[in-house]
């Protein structure tokens, strides 16, 4: 099983990712000025929505996946009794 270290990067977006999306949506790369605007907007957007993302992870996704895991273990006859 893989364990993350405390300071591992979990998700990253680099300028080339932004440029790829720009080419896909606009049909061209962003200028330097547009890139600065895009990075600023991205930082604002992520900052505003991170609490929603965390809330979804900790209140919906993890409990649901834990329930699925318990059901799978029960179906295979696993027991934690000693």
9 in any annotated domain:
no
Backbone region of residue 25 per phi and psi (left: phi > 0; alpha: psi in -120 to 50; beta: other values):
alpha
Checking if the pLDDT of 71 tops 60, the result is yes
3 in any annotated domain:
no
pTM of the model: 0.62
Q: What is the pLDDT of residue 66?
A: 82
Q: How far is CA 38 from its chain centroid? A: 19
Q: How many separate domains does the chain show?
A: 1
Q: What is the pLDDT of residue 6?
A: 81
82 in any annotated domain:
no
24 in any annotated domain:
yes
Q: What is the pLDDT of residue 2?
A: 64
Give the residue with greater pLDDT, 69 vs 36. Answer: 36
Mean pLDDT of 11-36: 96
6 in any annotated domain:
no
Domain that holds residue 60: 15-75
Task: In whole angstroms, give the CA distance from residue 78 to residue 72.
Answer: 9
Pair 29, 19: CB distance under 8 Å: yes
Q: What is the pLDDT of residue 78?
A: 63
Query: Is 44 exposed, middle or buried, given 0-12, 13-18 or 19+ CB atoms closer than 10 A?
Result: exposed
């Amino acid at each position: 099983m893989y364990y993350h270290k405390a300071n591992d990067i979990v998700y990253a977006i680099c300028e080339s990712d932004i440029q790829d999306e720009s080419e896909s949506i606009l049909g061209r790369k962003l200028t330097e000025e547009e890139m600065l605007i895009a990075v600023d907007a991205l930082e604002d957007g992520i900052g505003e929505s991170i609490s929603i993302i965390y809330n979804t992870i900790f209140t919906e996704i993890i409990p649901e996946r834990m329930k699925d895991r318990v059901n799978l273990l029960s179906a295979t006859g696993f027991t934690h009794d000693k």
